[in-house]
């Protein structure tokens, strides 16, 4: 009997079919963020990353060209089991030599090479207007700016991104989730909290008034409680984005688990949202004390989030995207490690005897529930993970770093 067969039998005794779990997981799309590979810099500006987020570290080998970024993503994907969807920002537009279009004038053709890449790897594409790292962010504000010219510029950027999102969906045959996040806010106590929110509401409404096919483009709004330099107030707070999505059919909320007070848990918000929203989106990250965007690991909250999606049968209702960026370690390793961690969390959730545990809760057998929760933690999930990796043709955890080292030696260290 192989290790997998022995492990499978243990799960079977609890009513869990591990083969079925593996088959299900293979088909769950998870959005893979290109911005881990170049420290969220992009190709359309040379001013560096600004606007409420920051990367730290200077590990050698950062992707500096579209070719390098795609090469690194291909390398990361070789190390990842499961189905990845490409997630790009507008700042990753690819221009021909001598060509340039500002953010309000971006066109589908500036993303044709991304479509080519996605088709080559049978991936859908998700998209994000980039409301940061740009000279037209005025006094830290974009969609909520009191300066009408500034606000118009960013509204037009949003509209351009709707058109590009629809192009992605048509080309790939997969709906495109288009996420609106701005770092708009104030460092210190504002004199007017409502005015910026009313302007932002109007701006997003104008963006969404751009004609598009709702089956192809899935807009969403991402909240955040604070950012670097906007510690006192953010326009796009949780209440603002949730209310906006509730009132605008077809617009989803997006919860990033780094964007709440450290004592709030997105795992607890997921089932609450499922009671009201047919669909919503997640950014999955790891905050260390704050929105630090460390590489996702298989920690308790990561597992708990996956569990809430799986046990509520919501894998088709929650759009899952990764969002972290660490510049202090090998970036290919960072991208692939986070993806693998989320796969492990989903696999663990799919191999949990959820029905049996729920029954214990519903029949008030709470002591037994506690004991069974602890027993489930000791099940041999590592064997199931290894089998999943084997079936997907990717290396197990113990051989993962060997390939990272080879790529670093042969490719990353040779970059100028």
Ligand X SMILES: C[C@H](O)[C@H](O)[C@@H](O)C(=O)CO
Active site residues: 181, 222, 224, 256, 259, 283, 291, 293, 323
- Which residue, 81 or 196, has its beta carbon nearer to ligand X? 196
Site for ligand X contains 111 (CB under 6 A): no
Q: Which of 388, 400, 392, 383 is nearest to 335 (CA)?
A: 400
Cβ contacts of 268-275, under 8 Å, gap ≥ 24? 268/308, 270/305, 270/308, 270/309, 270/312, 270/314, 270/318, 271/308, 271/312, 274/312, 274/314, 274/317
Site for ligand X contains 35 (CB under 6 A): yes
- Which residue, 145 or 179, has its beta carbon nearer to Mn ion? 179
Site for ligand X contains 224 (CB under 6 A): yes
Question: Residues 66, 113: contact at Cβ < 8 Å?
Answer: yes
Q: Binder to ligand X among 39, 166, 308, 323 (CB under 6 A)? A: 323
Site for ligand X contains 40 (CB under 6 A): yes
Q: Binder to Mn ion among 134, 218, 269, 283 (CB under 5 A)? A: 283
Question: Residues 255, 269: contact at Cβ < 8 Å?
Answer: yes
Residues 266-305, interacting with ligand X (CB under 6 A): 283, 291
- Is 46 annotated as contributing to ligand binding? no
Euclidean distance between CA atoms 294 and 75, whole angstroms = 21
Question: Residues 380, 7: contact at Cβ < 8 Å?
Answer: yes
Euclidean distance between CA atoms 36 and 73, whole angstroms = 10
Site for Mn ion contains 294 (CB under 5 A): no
Binding mask 230-269 for ligand X (x = CB under 6 A): --------------------------x-------------
| Contacts of 378 by beta carbon, 8 Å cutoff, 6+ apart | none
Euclidean distance between CA atoms 160 and 181, whole angstroms = 15
234 binds, among Mn ion, ligand X, none (CB under 5 to 8 A by kind): none
Q: How far is the CB of 283 from Mn ion (least distance, A)?
A: 3
Q: Binder to Mn ion among 38, 44, 256, 387 (CB under 5 A)? A: 256
User: How many positions of this chain bind Mn ion (CB under 5 A)?
Assistant: 3
What φ, ψ does residue 87 adopt, rounded to 5°? -125, 115
H helices within 57-211, ranges in order?
66-78, 112-120, 148-172, 194-208
- Which residue, 18 or 87, has its beta carbon nearer to Mn ion? 87
| Contacts of 171 by beta carbon, 8 Å cutoff, 6+ apart | 115, 118, 119
Residues 123-182, interacting with Mn ion (CB under 5 A): none
- Which residue, 288 or 366, has its beta carbon nearer to ligand X? 288
First to last CA, the chain: 51
What φ, ψ does residue 280 adopt, rounded to 5°? -155, 175
128 binds, among Mn ion, ligand X, none (CB under 5 to 8 A by kind): ligand X
Site for ligand X contains 222 (CB under 6 A): yes
Binding stretches for ligand X (CB under 6 A): 35, 40, 53, 128, 181, 222, 224, 256, 283, 291, 323
**Binding-site positions for Mn(2+):** 259, 291, 293
What are the residues binding Mn ion (CB under 5 A)?
256, 283, 323
């Amino acid at each position: 009997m192989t290790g997998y067969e022995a492990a499978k039998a243990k799960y079977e005794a609890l009513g869990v079919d591990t083969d079925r779990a593996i088959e299900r997981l293979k088909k769950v799309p998870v959005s893979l963020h290109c911005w881990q590979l170049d420290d969220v810099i992009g190709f359309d500006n040379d001013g560096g990353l600004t606007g409420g987020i920051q990367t730290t570290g200077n590990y050698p080998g950062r992707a500096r060209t579209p070719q390098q970024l795609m090469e690194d993503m291909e390398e990361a994907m070789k190390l990842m089991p499961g189905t990845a969807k490409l997630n790009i920002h507008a700042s990753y537009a690819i221009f021909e030599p001598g060509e340039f279009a500002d953010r309000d004038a971006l066109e589908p053709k500036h993303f044709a090479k991304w479509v080519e890449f996605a088709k080559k790897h049978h991936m859908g594409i998700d998209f994000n207007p980039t409301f940061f790292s740009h000279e037209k962010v005025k006094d830290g504000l974009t969609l909520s700016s009191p300066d009408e010219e500034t606000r118009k510029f960013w509204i037009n950027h949003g509209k351009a991104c709707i058109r590009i999102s629809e192009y992605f969906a048509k080309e790939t045959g997969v709906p495109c989730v288009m996420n609106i996040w701005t770092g708009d806010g104030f460092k210190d106590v504002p004199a007017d909290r409502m005015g910026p929110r009313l302007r932002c509401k109007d701006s997003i409404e104008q963006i969404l008034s751009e004609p598009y096919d709702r089956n192809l483009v899935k807009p969403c709004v991402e909240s955040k409680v604070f950012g670097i330099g906007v510690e006192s107030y953010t326009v796009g707070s949780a209440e603002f984005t949730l209310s906006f999505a509730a009132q605008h059919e077809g617009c989803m909320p997006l919860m990033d688990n780094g964007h709440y007070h450290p004592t709030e848990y997105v795992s607890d918000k997921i089932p609450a949202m499922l009671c009201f929203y047919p669909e919503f989106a997640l950014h999955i990250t790891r905050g260390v004390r704050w929105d630090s965007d460390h590489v996702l690991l298989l920690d308790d909250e990561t597992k708990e989030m996956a569990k809430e999606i799986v046990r509520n049968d919501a894998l088709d209702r929650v759009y899952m995207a990764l969002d972290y960026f660490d510049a202090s370690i090998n970036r290919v390793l960072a991208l692939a490690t986070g993806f693998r961690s989320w796969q492990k969390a989903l696999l663990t959730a799919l191999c949990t005897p959820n029905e049996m545990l729920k029954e214990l809760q519903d029949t008030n057998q709470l002591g037994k529930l506690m004991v069974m929760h602890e027993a489930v933690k000791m099940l041999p999930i590592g064997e199931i993970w290894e089998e999943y990796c084997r079936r997907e043709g990717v290396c197990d955890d113990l051989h993962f770093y060997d390939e990272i080292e080879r790529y670093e030696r042969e490719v990353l260290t040779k970059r100028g």
